[in-house]
Structure 1
Amino acid sequence: MSFGQKYKNFAESLGILFKDYMNNPVKIIEIKGKNKVYQNFRLKTISLPLFNQYHDMFYKYYSNLDKYVKIVPENILEFLDPIVLSYLIMTDGNFDESRNRVRIYTNSYKKEEVQILANAINTKFGIYVGVLHDRKNQWILTIGAKQLDLLRNIVSTHFHSSMLYRIGIN
Protein backbone atom coordinates (compact mmCIF):
# COMPACT_ATOMS: atom_id res chain seq x y z
CA MET A 1 0.00 0.00 0.00
CA SER A 2 1.19 3.48 -0.75
CA PHE A 3 0.10 6.74 0.84
CA GLY A 4 0.89 10.37 0.04
CA GLN A 5 2.88 12.57 2.38
CA LYS A 6 -0.12 13.95 4.27
CA TYR A 7 -1.09 10.38 5.28
CA LYS A 8 2.10 9.59 7.19
CA ASN A 9 0.34 9.04 10.54
CA PHE A 10 -2.31 6.79 9.00
CA ALA A 11 0.31 4.77 7.10
CA GLU A 12 2.31 4.31 10.29
CA SER A 13 -0.79 3.17 12.17
CA LEU A 14 -1.39 0.54 9.47
CA GLY A 15 2.25 -0.47 9.81
CA ILE A 16 1.63 -1.15 13.50
CA LEU A 17 -1.51 -3.20 12.71
CA PHE A 18 0.35 -5.31 10.12
CA LYS A 19 3.75 -5.44 11.85
CA ASP A 20 3.55 -9.22 12.35
CA TYR A 21 3.08 -9.64 8.59
CA MET A 22 5.87 -7.31 7.43
CA ASN A 23 9.62 -7.81 7.16
CA ASN A 24 10.29 -4.06 7.12
CA PRO A 25 8.57 -1.05 8.69
CA VAL A 26 6.72 1.60 6.69
CA LYS A 27 9.20 2.96 4.16
CA ILE A 28 9.57 6.56 3.01
CA ILE A 29 9.91 6.84 -0.76
CA GLU A 30 10.94 10.11 -2.39
CA ILE A 31 9.29 10.85 -5.71
CA LYS A 32 10.73 13.59 -7.87
CA GLY A 33 8.09 15.74 -9.44
CA LYS A 34 8.65 18.48 -11.98
CA ASN A 35 9.44 21.17 -9.40
CA LYS A 36 9.23 19.37 -6.09
CA VAL A 37 10.20 16.17 -4.31
CA TYR A 38 7.27 14.32 -2.73
CA GLN A 39 7.29 11.71 -0.02
CA ASN A 40 5.19 8.57 -0.15
CA PHE A 41 4.82 6.07 2.65
CA ARG A 42 4.73 2.44 1.62
CA LEU A 43 4.15 -0.76 3.46
CA LYS A 44 4.45 -4.27 2.13
CA THR A 45 3.28 -7.43 3.76
CA ILE A 46 5.00 -10.74 3.21
CA SER A 47 3.22 -13.34 1.09
CA LEU A 48 1.41 -15.76 3.35
CA PRO A 49 -1.24 -18.40 2.66
CA LEU A 50 -3.61 -16.69 5.12
CA PHE A 51 -3.94 -13.78 2.68
CA ASN A 52 -5.08 -16.08 -0.17
CA GLN A 53 -8.64 -16.27 1.14
CA TYR A 54 -8.93 -12.48 0.95
CA HIS A 55 -7.50 -12.38 -2.55
CA ASP A 56 -9.97 -15.06 -3.63
CA MET A 57 -12.82 -13.16 -1.98
CA PHE A 58 -12.08 -9.78 -3.59
CA TYR A 59 -10.56 -10.74 -6.97
CA LYS A 60 -12.05 -12.75 -9.80
CA TYR A 61 -10.03 -14.13 -12.67
CA TYR A 62 -11.38 -13.34 -16.14
CA SER A 63 -9.81 -15.62 -18.74
CA ASN A 64 -10.93 -13.39 -21.63
CA LEU A 65 -8.92 -10.53 -20.05
CA ASP A 66 -6.18 -12.83 -18.71
CA LYS A 67 -6.19 -10.96 -15.42
CA TYR A 68 -7.74 -10.69 -11.99
CA VAL A 69 -10.33 -7.95 -11.48
CA LYS A 70 -11.26 -6.46 -8.11
CA ILE A 71 -14.86 -7.23 -7.13
CA VAL A 72 -17.36 -6.68 -4.35
CA PRO A 73 -18.28 -10.15 -3.10
CA GLU A 74 -21.99 -10.92 -3.28
CA ASN A 75 -21.86 -11.94 0.39
CA ILE A 76 -20.17 -8.72 1.57
CA LEU A 77 -22.95 -8.32 4.16
CA GLU A 78 -21.46 -11.25 6.11
CA PHE A 79 -18.15 -9.41 6.53
CA LEU A 80 -19.36 -5.86 6.97
CA ASP A 81 -18.99 -4.38 10.44
CA PRO A 82 -18.16 -0.91 11.82
CA ILE A 83 -14.40 -1.52 11.48
CA VAL A 84 -14.68 -2.60 7.84
CA LEU A 85 -16.86 0.42 7.02
CA SER A 86 -14.40 2.69 8.83
CA TYR A 87 -11.42 1.47 6.83
CA LEU A 88 -13.39 1.63 3.58
CA ILE A 89 -14.08 5.32 4.25
CA MET A 90 -10.58 6.09 5.53
CA THR A 91 -9.02 4.63 2.38
CA ASP A 92 -11.58 5.40 -0.33
CA GLY A 93 -13.83 8.08 1.13
CA ASN A 94 -13.93 11.83 1.47
CA PHE A 95 -16.12 14.52 2.95
CA ASP A 96 -17.83 16.79 0.47
CA GLU A 97 -18.17 19.97 2.52
CA SER A 98 -20.20 21.82 -0.12
CA ARG A 99 -22.94 19.15 -0.05
CA ASN A 100 -22.39 17.97 3.56
CA ARG A 101 -22.00 14.34 2.57
CA VAL A 102 -19.51 11.50 2.56
CA ARG A 103 -18.51 10.00 -0.77
CA ILE A 104 -16.93 6.57 -1.13
CA TYR A 105 -15.05 6.13 -4.38
CA THR A 106 -15.99 2.72 -5.69
CA ASN A 107 -15.09 3.65 -9.27
CA SER A 108 -13.37 0.37 -10.13
CA TYR A 109 -16.49 -1.72 -9.50
CA LYS A 110 -19.46 -2.47 -11.74
CA LYS A 111 -22.71 -0.65 -10.94
CA GLU A 112 -24.29 -3.90 -9.74
CA GLU A 113 -21.45 -4.45 -7.27
CA VAL A 114 -21.67 -0.89 -5.96
CA GLN A 115 -25.39 -1.45 -5.43
CA ILE A 116 -24.66 -4.65 -3.48
CA LEU A 117 -22.32 -2.68 -1.21
CA ALA A 118 -24.86 0.14 -0.77
CA ASN A 119 -27.58 -2.37 0.12
CA ALA A 120 -25.27 -4.13 2.59
CA ILE A 121 -24.46 -0.85 4.39
CA ASN A 122 -28.17 0.00 4.52
CA THR A 123 -29.15 -3.46 5.78
CA LYS A 124 -26.38 -3.71 8.38
CA PHE A 125 -26.44 -0.17 9.77
CA GLY A 126 -29.70 1.42 8.63
CA ILE A 127 -27.76 4.05 6.68
CA TYR A 128 -29.28 5.08 3.36
CA VAL A 129 -26.51 5.04 0.74
CA GLY A 130 -26.97 6.49 -2.72
CA VAL A 131 -25.33 5.06 -5.83
CA LEU A 132 -24.34 7.91 -8.13
CA HIS A 133 -22.86 7.95 -11.59
CA ASP A 134 -19.44 9.62 -11.36
CA ARG A 135 -18.09 9.48 -14.91
CA LYS A 136 -17.90 7.06 -17.82
CA ASN A 137 -18.80 3.65 -16.39
CA GLN A 138 -17.88 4.60 -12.82
CA TRP A 139 -20.11 4.70 -9.75
CA ILE A 140 -19.65 6.07 -6.25
CA LEU A 141 -21.49 5.75 -2.96
CA THR A 142 -22.84 8.81 -1.17
CA ILE A 143 -24.06 9.17 2.39
CA GLY A 144 -26.06 12.36 2.73
CA ALA A 145 -26.38 14.96 5.45
CA LYS A 146 -29.40 13.31 7.12
CA GLN A 147 -27.36 10.13 7.66
CA LEU A 148 -24.11 11.71 8.90
CA ASP A 149 -24.79 11.57 12.64
CA LEU A 150 -25.66 7.87 12.41
CA LEU A 151 -22.59 7.17 10.27
CA ARG A 152 -20.30 9.08 12.63
CA ASN A 153 -21.69 7.25 15.66
CA ILE A 154 -20.97 3.91 13.99
CA VAL A 155 -17.49 4.56 12.60
CA SER A 156 -15.76 7.42 14.41
CA THR A 157 -14.39 5.31 17.29
CA HIS A 158 -12.61 3.11 14.71
CA PHE A 159 -11.10 6.01 12.78
CA HIS A 160 -7.49 7.04 13.05
CA SER A 161 -7.57 10.59 14.42
CA SER A 162 -5.77 11.96 11.35
CA MET A 163 -8.55 10.66 9.11
CA LEU A 164 -11.63 12.00 10.92
CA TYR A 165 -11.87 14.82 8.39
CA ARG A 166 -13.12 12.20 5.90
CA ILE A 167 -16.39 12.10 7.80
CA GLY A 168 -16.48 15.85 8.41
CA ILE A 169 -14.98 15.86 11.90
CA ASN A 170 -12.06 18.24 12.32
Structure 2
Amino acid sequence: MYSRHKLPTNRLVVLHQLLLLPLSVYFKHSNSRQFHIRTQTSKRVGPHNSDVISVLVGCLLGDAYSTKSKSPVPGTSFRFKQSGRHKDYLFSLYDFFYNRGYCTNSGPRQYKTILINSSNVKKTHYGYEFDLFTFSSLNWLFDLFYVNGIKTISPEISQYLTPMSLAYLIMDDGGWVSGSKSVRIATNNFTLQEVQLLRDIFKTNFDLDCTIQLLSKCKANSPKDKYSLYIKVASLPRLRELVLPYMVPSMKYKLGL
Protein backbone atom coordinates (compact mmCIF):
# COMPACT_ATOMS: atom_id res chain seq x y z
CA MET A 1 0.00 0.00 0.00
CA TYR A 2 1.15 3.53 -0.75
CA SER A 3 2.68 4.69 2.52
CA ARG A 4 1.70 8.35 2.15
CA HIS A 5 -2.01 7.58 2.64
CA LYS A 6 -3.04 8.31 6.21
CA LEU A 7 -6.02 6.07 6.87
CA PRO A 8 -7.43 4.44 10.00
CA THR A 9 -6.01 0.93 10.36
CA ASN A 10 -9.23 -0.91 9.53
CA ARG A 11 -9.86 1.17 6.38
CA LEU A 12 -6.22 0.86 5.38
CA VAL A 13 -6.57 -2.93 5.31
CA VAL A 14 -9.80 -2.76 3.31
CA LEU A 15 -8.32 -0.35 0.75
CA HIS A 16 -5.16 -2.41 0.48
CA GLN A 17 -7.17 -5.55 -0.22
CA LEU A 18 -9.32 -3.71 -2.77
CA LEU A 19 -6.35 -2.39 -4.69
CA LEU A 20 -4.99 -5.92 -5.08
CA LEU A 21 -8.15 -7.11 -6.80
CA PRO A 22 -8.66 -6.98 -10.56
CA LEU A 23 -11.32 -4.62 -11.87
CA SER A 24 -13.59 -7.51 -12.80
CA VAL A 25 -13.96 -8.58 -9.17
CA TYR A 26 -15.30 -5.30 -7.80
CA PHE A 27 -16.86 -3.45 -10.71
CA LYS A 28 -19.84 -4.35 -12.86
CA HIS A 29 -19.50 -4.29 -16.64
CA SER A 30 -23.18 -4.01 -17.54
CA ASN A 31 -26.60 -3.06 -16.20
CA SER A 32 -26.46 0.61 -15.23
CA ARG A 33 -27.07 1.41 -11.58
CA GLN A 34 -29.50 4.14 -10.52
CA PHE A 35 -28.86 6.18 -7.39
CA HIS A 36 -31.81 8.37 -6.43
CA ILE A 37 -31.24 11.85 -5.02
CA ARG A 38 -33.08 10.94 -1.81
CA THR A 39 -30.93 7.86 -1.22
CA GLN A 40 -28.69 8.21 1.82
CA THR A 41 -24.94 8.30 1.25
CA SER A 42 -24.50 5.07 3.18
CA LYS A 43 -26.97 3.32 0.86
CA ARG A 44 -25.13 4.29 -2.34
CA VAL A 45 -22.88 1.27 -2.20
CA GLY A 46 -22.41 0.20 -5.84
CA PRO A 47 -21.12 -1.90 -7.43
CA HIS A 48 -19.92 0.63 -9.98
CA ASN A 49 -19.55 -0.11 -13.68
CA SER A 50 -15.96 -0.23 -14.90
CA ASP A 51 -16.60 2.62 -17.36
CA VAL A 52 -17.62 4.91 -14.49
CA ILE A 53 -14.39 4.18 -12.63
CA SER A 54 -12.37 4.68 -15.82
CA VAL A 55 -13.89 8.11 -16.42
CA LEU A 56 -13.47 9.16 -12.79
CA VAL A 57 -9.81 8.14 -12.78
CA GLY A 58 -9.10 9.99 -16.03
CA CYS A 59 -10.88 13.15 -14.90
CA LEU A 60 -9.24 13.11 -11.46
CA LEU A 61 -5.86 13.06 -13.18
CA GLY A 62 -7.14 16.14 -15.01
CA ASP A 63 -9.25 19.06 -13.78
CA ALA A 64 -11.92 17.24 -11.77
CA TYR A 65 -11.66 17.25 -8.01
CA SER A 66 -13.14 15.32 -5.14
CA THR A 67 -14.14 15.97 -1.54
CA LYS A 68 -14.97 13.59 1.29
CA SER A 69 -17.45 14.45 4.02
CA LYS A 70 -16.74 13.37 7.58
CA SER A 71 -20.18 12.96 9.12
CA PRO A 72 -22.60 11.48 9.78
CA VAL A 73 -21.43 8.87 7.25
CA PRO A 74 -18.19 9.53 5.32
CA GLY A 75 -18.96 9.95 1.64
CA THR A 76 -17.12 11.13 -1.47
CA SER A 77 -18.41 13.52 -4.12
CA PHE A 78 -16.89 14.77 -7.38
CA ARG A 79 -17.05 18.07 -9.24
CA PHE A 80 -16.42 18.60 -12.96
CA LYS A 81 -15.70 22.06 -14.31
CA GLN A 82 -14.78 23.39 -17.76
CA SER A 83 -14.60 26.73 -19.52
CA GLY A 84 -17.34 27.80 -21.91
CA ARG A 85 -15.11 26.83 -24.83
CA HIS A 86 -15.42 23.20 -23.77
CA LYS A 87 -19.15 23.29 -23.09
CA ASP A 88 -19.86 20.36 -25.44
CA TYR A 89 -17.41 18.16 -23.58
CA LEU A 90 -18.74 19.14 -20.14
CA PHE A 91 -22.35 18.48 -21.17
CA SER A 92 -21.35 15.16 -22.71
CA LEU A 93 -19.68 14.25 -19.42
CA TYR A 94 -22.82 15.25 -17.55
CA ASP A 95 -24.94 13.04 -19.84
CA PHE A 96 -22.58 10.13 -19.21
CA PHE A 97 -23.10 10.31 -15.45
CA TYR A 98 -26.77 11.32 -15.54
CA ASN A 99 -27.69 8.37 -17.76
CA ARG A 100 -26.09 6.09 -15.17
CA GLY A 101 -27.89 7.70 -12.25
CA TYR A 102 -24.92 9.51 -10.68
CA CYS A 103 -26.28 13.08 -10.64
CA THR A 104 -29.50 15.08 -10.65
CA ASN A 105 -31.49 16.07 -13.73
CA SER A 106 -30.85 19.79 -13.18
CA GLY A 107 -28.00 19.89 -15.71
CA PRO A 108 -24.66 21.71 -15.47
CA ARG A 109 -24.77 25.19 -13.94
CA GLN A 110 -23.00 28.22 -15.35
CA TYR A 111 -20.33 29.96 -13.31
CA LYS A 112 -18.49 33.26 -13.73
CA THR A 113 -14.87 34.03 -12.95
CA ILE A 114 -13.33 37.50 -13.00
CA LEU A 115 -9.58 37.60 -13.58
CA ILE A 116 -7.26 40.61 -13.41
CA ASN A 117 -4.26 40.58 -15.76
CA SER A 118 -0.86 42.17 -15.25
CA SER A 119 -2.20 45.48 -16.60
CA ASN A 120 -4.89 45.47 -13.90
CA VAL A 121 -7.61 44.90 -16.50
CA LYS A 122 -10.54 42.75 -15.44
CA LYS A 123 -11.82 40.04 -17.74
CA THR A 124 -14.88 37.90 -17.16
CA HIS A 125 -14.83 34.21 -18.04
CA TYR A 126 -17.81 31.86 -18.09
CA GLY A 127 -17.91 28.12 -17.76
CA TYR A 128 -20.02 25.19 -16.60
CA GLU A 129 -19.83 22.73 -13.74
CA PHE A 130 -21.79 19.93 -12.07
CA ASP A 131 -21.47 17.58 -9.11
CA LEU A 132 -22.13 13.90 -8.59
CA PHE A 133 -24.07 12.42 -5.71
CA THR A 134 -22.07 11.55 -2.60
CA PHE A 135 -21.07 7.88 -2.38
CA SER A 136 -19.70 6.04 0.63
CA SER A 137 -18.63 3.29 -1.79
CA LEU A 138 -16.25 5.67 -3.58
CA ASN A 139 -14.29 6.75 -0.51
CA TRP A 140 -11.48 4.44 -1.62
CA LEU A 141 -11.09 6.50 -4.81
CA PHE A 142 -10.68 9.71 -2.82
CA ASP A 143 -8.11 8.00 -0.60
CA LEU A 144 -6.27 6.76 -3.68
CA PHE A 145 -5.85 10.28 -5.10
CA TYR A 146 -5.60 12.59 -2.09
CA VAL A 147 -3.06 12.89 0.70
CA ASN A 148 -3.72 15.58 3.30
CA GLY A 149 -6.08 17.30 0.87
CA ILE A 150 -3.54 17.40 -1.98
CA LYS A 151 -4.10 15.48 -5.22
CA THR A 152 -1.32 12.97 -5.86
CA ILE A 153 -0.36 10.16 -8.24
CA SER A 154 0.37 6.80 -6.62
CA PRO A 155 1.60 3.54 -8.20
CA GLU A 156 -1.77 1.86 -7.52
CA ILE A 157 -3.44 4.13 -10.08
CA SER A 158 -1.87 2.06 -12.86
CA GLN A 159 -4.39 -0.79 -12.50
CA TYR A 160 -7.33 1.59 -12.95
CA LEU A 161 -5.91 3.62 -15.85
CA THR A 162 -7.58 2.32 -19.02
CA PRO A 163 -7.73 3.66 -22.60
CA MET A 164 -11.05 5.25 -21.64
CA SER A 165 -9.35 6.95 -18.68
CA LEU A 166 -6.63 8.23 -20.98
CA ALA A 167 -9.19 9.66 -23.40
CA TYR A 168 -10.93 11.60 -20.63
CA LEU A 169 -7.63 12.82 -19.24
CA ILE A 170 -6.73 14.24 -22.66
CA MET A 171 -10.17 15.81 -23.14
CA ASP A 172 -10.06 17.19 -19.61
CA ASP A 173 -6.52 18.52 -19.42
CA GLY A 174 -4.67 17.75 -22.65
CA GLY A 175 -3.74 19.83 -25.66
CA TRP A 176 -2.35 19.57 -29.18
CA VAL A 177 1.09 21.08 -29.78
CA SER A 178 1.20 21.89 -33.47
CA GLY A 179 4.91 22.70 -33.57
CA SER A 180 6.09 19.32 -32.32
CA LYS A 181 2.93 17.49 -33.43
CA SER A 182 2.58 15.96 -29.99
CA VAL A 183 -0.03 15.81 -27.26
CA ARG A 184 0.69 17.71 -24.07
CA ILE A 185 -0.91 16.78 -20.76
CA ALA A 186 -0.95 19.52 -18.13
CA THR A 187 0.61 17.80 -15.14
CA ASN A 188 1.91 21.05 -13.65
CA ASN A 189 0.16 20.48 -10.30
CA PHE A 190 2.05 17.24 -9.66
CA THR A 191 5.63 16.75 -8.48
CA LEU A 192 8.39 15.66 -10.83
CA GLN A 193 8.41 12.22 -9.23
CA GLU A 194 4.67 11.87 -9.82
CA VAL A 195 4.95 12.96 -13.45
CA GLN A 196 7.77 10.45 -13.94
CA LEU A 197 5.53 7.76 -12.45
CA LEU A 198 2.70 8.69 -14.84
CA ARG A 199 5.14 8.55 -17.76
CA ASP A 200 6.17 5.04 -16.73
CA ILE A 201 2.53 3.96 -16.36
CA PHE A 202 1.78 5.24 -19.87
CA LYS A 203 4.61 3.08 -21.19
CA THR A 204 3.61 -0.02 -19.22
CA ASN A 205 -0.15 0.21 -19.78
CA PHE A 206 -0.30 1.62 -23.31
CA ASP A 207 3.20 1.35 -24.84
CA LEU A 208 3.29 5.14 -25.23
CA ASP A 209 6.60 7.00 -25.19
CA CYS A 210 6.56 10.33 -23.38
CA THR A 211 8.92 13.12 -22.42
CA ILE A 212 8.77 15.51 -19.49
CA GLN A 213 9.43 19.20 -19.92
CA LEU A 214 9.97 21.85 -17.30
CA LEU A 215 7.41 24.63 -17.65
CA SER A 216 8.71 26.98 -15.00
CA LYS A 217 11.06 27.02 -12.06
CA CYS A 218 9.53 27.57 -8.67
CA LYS A 219 9.43 31.13 -7.40
CA ALA A 220 9.48 32.43 -3.88
CA ASN A 221 5.70 32.11 -3.59
CA SER A 222 5.49 28.79 -5.48
CA PRO A 223 6.11 25.49 -3.66
CA LYS A 224 7.49 23.50 -6.62
CA ASP A 225 8.63 23.48 -10.22
CA LYS A 226 5.96 22.83 -12.85
CA TYR A 227 6.20 20.08 -15.45
CA SER A 228 4.18 18.91 -18.46
CA LEU A 229 4.03 15.44 -19.96
CA TYR A 230 4.33 15.16 -23.75
CA ILE A 231 3.31 12.07 -25.73
CA LYS A 232 5.87 11.76 -28.52
CA VAL A 233 4.92 12.08 -32.18
CA ALA A 234 6.07 8.49 -32.81
CA SER A 235 3.40 7.28 -30.36
CA LEU A 236 0.63 9.38 -31.90
CA PRO A 237 -0.83 6.59 -34.11
CA ARG A 238 -0.95 4.28 -31.10
CA LEU A 239 -2.53 6.99 -28.94
CA ARG A 240 -5.25 7.72 -31.49
CA GLU A 241 -6.01 4.03 -31.82
CA LEU A 242 -6.50 3.78 -28.06
CA VAL A 243 -8.59 6.86 -27.33
CA LEU A 244 -10.55 7.82 -30.44
CA PRO A 245 -13.48 5.48 -29.62
CA TYR A 246 -14.11 7.56 -26.48
CA MET A 247 -13.41 11.09 -27.71
CA VAL A 248 -16.17 13.68 -27.95
CA PRO A 249 -16.13 14.98 -31.56
CA SER A 250 -15.44 18.58 -30.50
CA MET A 251 -12.35 17.44 -28.57
CA LYS A 252 -10.63 15.50 -31.35
CA TYR A 253 -8.58 18.60 -32.14
CA LYS A 254 -6.54 17.70 -29.05
CA LEU A 255 -5.26 14.75 -31.07
CA GLY A 256 -4.38 16.93 -34.04
CA LEU A 257 -7.52 15.90 -35.95
TM-score range, shorter chain: 0.7 to 0.9
Offset at 1:120? Answer: 0.6
List per-residue Cα deviations over 1:131-158 (Å, max 9, x = no partner).
2211121111101211111111111111
Count of paired positions: 163
List per-residue Cα deviations over 1:10-45 (Å, max 9, x = no partner).
111111112122233111234567677543111111
Q: Residue 127 of structure 2 aligns to a residue in which SS?
A: strand
Deviates more, 1:9-18 or 1:37-46: 37-46
Aligned match of 1:39 in 111, 126, 132?
Answer: 126
Aligned to 1:12: 91
* Structure 2 CA distance for aligned equivalents of residues 15 and 117 of structure 1: 26
Change (3 A) 1:97 1:35: same
Change (3 A) 1:36 1:60: closer
1:25 and 2:107 correspond: yes
* Structure 1 CA distance for aligned equivalents of residues 145 and 236 of structure 2: 28
Aligned match of 1:104 in 164, 185, 197?
Answer: 185
Aligned to 1:3: 82
* Structure 2 CA distance for aligned equivalents of residues 149 and 53 of structure 1: 34
Q: Which amino acid aligns with 2:95?
A: I
Listed as ranges, the gaps of 5+ residues in structure 2 are 1-79, 116-120, 218-224
1:167 and 2:226 correspond: no
Aligned to 1:64: none
- State percent identity of aligned pairs: 26
Q: Which amino acid aligns with 2:226?
A: Q
Change (3 A) 1:38 1:110: closer
Pick the structure with greater CA Rg.
Answer: 2
Change (3 A) 1:96 1:26: same
List per-residue Cα deviations over 1:117-140 (Å, max 9, x = no partner).
100111111111112211121111
* Structure 2 CA distance for aligned equivalents of residues 140 and 134 of structure 1: 7
* Structure 1 CA distance for aligned equivalents of residues 144 and 213 of structure 2: 25
8 Å Cα contact 2:170-2:254 kept in structure 1: yes
* Structure 2 CA distance for aligned equivalents of residues 125 and 25 of structure 1: 34
* Structure 1 CA distance for aligned equivalents of residues 153 and 90 of structure 2: 24
Q: Matches of residues 68-147 of structure 1 in structure 2 within 5 Å?
A: 68-136=149-217, 137-147=225-235
Aligned to 2:136: 49
* Structure 2 CA distance for aligned equivalents of residues 50 and 11 of structure 1: 24
Q: Residue 113 of structure 1 aligns to a residue in which SS?
A: helix
Superposed CA RMSD in Å reads 1.7
TM-score w.r.t. length of structure 2: 0.59
